[in-house]
Amino acid sequence: MAVIQINGGRVLNGELSVSGAKNAVLPILVASLLTDQTLQLRNVPHLQDVTTTMSLLAQLGAEISMDDGMAINISSANLNSYAASYELVRTMRASILVLGPLLARCGRAEVSLPGGCAIGARPVDLHLRGMQALGAEVEVKNGYIHARAERLRGAHIIMDTVTVTGTENIMMAATLAQGTTIIENAAQEPEVVDLAECLNAMGAQISGAGTDTITIAGVSALGGAVHTVLPDRIETGTYLVAAAMTGGFIKLRNARANTLDAVLQKLVETGAEIHTGADWISLDMHGRRPRAVDITTAPFPGFPTDMQAQFTALNAIAEGTSVISERVFENRFMHVLELQRLGANIQLRGGNAIVKGVEKLSGAPIMATDLRASASLVLAGLVAEGQTRVDRVYHIDRGYENIEEKLSALGADIRRVTLPRNAPAKVAAA
Ligand code: UD1
């Protein structure tokens, strides 16, 4: 059993390079299903979700090879299946992204329904309605989505809710449809733009990505391409918050400030001094304690729900009281109970968390519940007095590349330890 062990109280200082974006690389890997030519991807992060996606593609018949550790080549020339099994989909909801590409390329897809999720119901109804609008017959039976279409047809689709993977799924399917598709109320996330850029490099005709209306003129085939994945804005934001919470300084290379405006604005409100360049961001807290900031999550360009847990941790030790309103996912406050175990003063009221900043947190064994929640627990451990042990770190490995190495490089006392099963809750410093 691997755990992350942190002895809190160190001020973070230094430079880091940000990895490729998880939420961009997953749909882009899947986009390789749309062509029989090779797609070469650079800046692919080493993450569990990337490994899971590659396993899924391999099960469908894709061939994947590495180029000197620098690039990944994927060839879907010889697909031999159109089915994504429950075993894989249940470990990663983003597996639903294969639905559109398989349908467009093979005329058929069978994808398991993702099922329950720690951060709320997260239905896929809008993905299914999008495929139906493109002319597919869709049936849900025995826990699987069964979809069929001779050739998809362009359609005018108005999304009920802004959905990131829903927009991506429909956009990918529409690239090979007959005629033009217009997606209104589309997600505007930078990862949607990165996917559109990759698809266009493969020969798709997509315009408007990054706005709320995306137009896709269908083409008869897509080809190969070389694409460099966008830097991860959530990883970037997480390390900025880590530096802010410890009163330190950080410079992040391979970071894109224009994908993080809402987060940077909030960090400035906490008292951080921020500077940005074309591919870097620096934050200096000058040893100060952060001031509390109110947060309301919203689709891009609003404040990202994937940064909510980290700002809850920041507010837990900030000066003042804040209100955190979660508007994208119900039930995304699992981290609050764990932060309370470290001494945080947080009350949950409906979709809001009221956080009264305390002077100090104190270390304790705590448990990661989902990806971003677990990052917030690590951040809290960095400032808690004594030792914090974060259990179930596989959640962190889904989305953060070498988090303990990167934080150690900044001066944190953090390590991954493999404990025997049923190890006692309190662990002496190794
Ligand atoms: C993506 C991100 C995830 C992020 C989320 C919101 C990936 C791989 N994951 O998840 O990290 O937290 O965007 O920024 O990119 N909804 C429906 N019906 C649907 C689809 C969604 O009602 O068919 C609702 C969801 O329940 C939620 C809202 O739409 O309330 C937004 O979810 P969505 O944008 O779809 O999240 P994901 O794409 O799953």
Atom 31, ligand 1: residue with shortest CA distance: 163
Task: Quick: pLDDT tens for 244-275.
Answer: 999 999 999 999 999 999 999 999 999 999 99
Per the annotation, the verdict on 117 as an active-site residue is yes
In Å, how far are 60, 189, 198, 201 from 32, measured between CA atoms?
A: 11, 21, 10, 12
How far, in Å, CA of 212 to CA of 184, rounded? 6
* Amino acid sitting at position 232: D
For the chain, the residue count is 430
Q: What are the residues facing 74 on neighbouring strands? A: 39, 64
Task: Quick: pLDDT tens for 7-17.
Answer: 999 999 999 99
pLDDT at site 429: 35
Cα–ligand 1 centroid distance for 62 (angstroms): 26
pLDDT at site 138: 96
Cα–ligand 1 centroid distance for 350 (angstroms): 20
Task: Quick: pLDDT tens for 279-316.
Answer: 999 999 999 999 999 999 999 999 999 999 999 999 99
Region 93-113 average pLDDT? 95
pLDDT at site 97: 97
Region 209-218 average pLDDT? 98
Tell me the pLDDT band of 423, cut-offs 50, 70 and 90.
Answer: low
Tell me the pLDDT band of 119, cut-offs 50, 70 and 90.
Answer: low
Helix axes 371-383, 233-245, angle to 10 degrees: 20
pLDDT cut 90: percent of the chain above it? 85
Region 147-172 average pLDDT? 97
Nearest 5°: CA angle at 68, between 64 and 74?
Answer: 20
Region 412-427 average pLDDT? 76
Atom 13, ligand 1: residue with shortest CA distance: 164
Does ligand 1 have an atom closer than 6 angstroms to the CB of 300? no
pLDDT at site 188: 98
Cβ atoms within 10 Å of 172's Cβ, excluding its own:
31
Atom 5, ligand 1: residue with shortest CA distance: 164
pLDDT cut 70: percent of the chain above it? 96
Does ligand 1 have an atom closer than 6 angstroms to the CB of 150? no
Tell me the pLDDT band of 118, cut-offs 50, 70 and 90.
Answer: low
Region 221-242 average pLDDT? 98
Task: Quick: pLDDT tens for 23-69.
Answer: 999 999 999 999 999 999 999 999 999 999 999 999 999 999 988 77
Return the best residue to mutate from 163, 212, 332, 370 for the ligand 1 pocket (most ligand atoms within 8 A of CB).
163
Tell me the pLDDT band of 72, cut-offs 50, 70 and 90.
Answer: very high
pTM over 0.75: yes
Candidates 11, 79, 117, 182; catalytic one: 117
| pLDDT over 50 at 84, yes or no | yes
pLDDT at site 422: 66
Cα–ligand 1 centroid distance for 94 (angstroms): 9
| pLDDT over 60 at 79, yes or no | yes
Tell me the pLDDT band of 371, cut-offs 50, 70 and 90.
Answer: confident
Copy the structure tokens of residue 406: 């990167």
Region 351-365 average pLDDT? 96
Nearest to 193 by CA among 359, 37, 27: 27
Tell me the pLDDT band of 427, cut-offs 50, 70 and 90.
Answer: very low
**Is the distance from CB of 130 to CB of 101 less than 8 angstroms?**
no
Does ligand 1 have an atom closer than 6 angstroms to the CB of 165? yes
| pLDDT over 90 at 206, yes or no | yes
Tell me the pLDDT band of 242, cut-offs 50, 70 and 90.
Answer: very high
How far, in Å, CA of 350 to CA of 317, rounded? 22
Region 354-363 average pLDDT? 97
pLDDT at site 369: 84
Atom 1, ligand 1: residue with shortest CA distance: 164
Cα–ligand 1 centroid distance for 163 (angstroms): 5
pLDDT at site 430: 33
Does ligand 1 have an atom closer than 6 angstroms to the CB of 119? no
Does ligand 1 have an atom closer than 6 angstroms to the CB of 49? no
Does ligand 1 have an atom closer than 6 angstroms to the CB of 331? no
Does ligand 1 have an atom closer than 6 angstroms to the CB of 329? yes
Atom 32, ligand 1: residue with shortest CA distance: 163
Nearest to 6 by CA among 247, 344, 364: 364
* Amino acid sitting at position 400: Y
As a whole number, the mean pLDDT across the chain is 94
pLDDT at site 428: 36
In Å, how far are 65, 189, 217, 375, 395 from 195, measured between CA atoms?
A: 21, 10, 16, 25, 24
Region 149-167 average pLDDT? 97
Cα–ligand 1 centroid distance for 35 (angstroms): 26
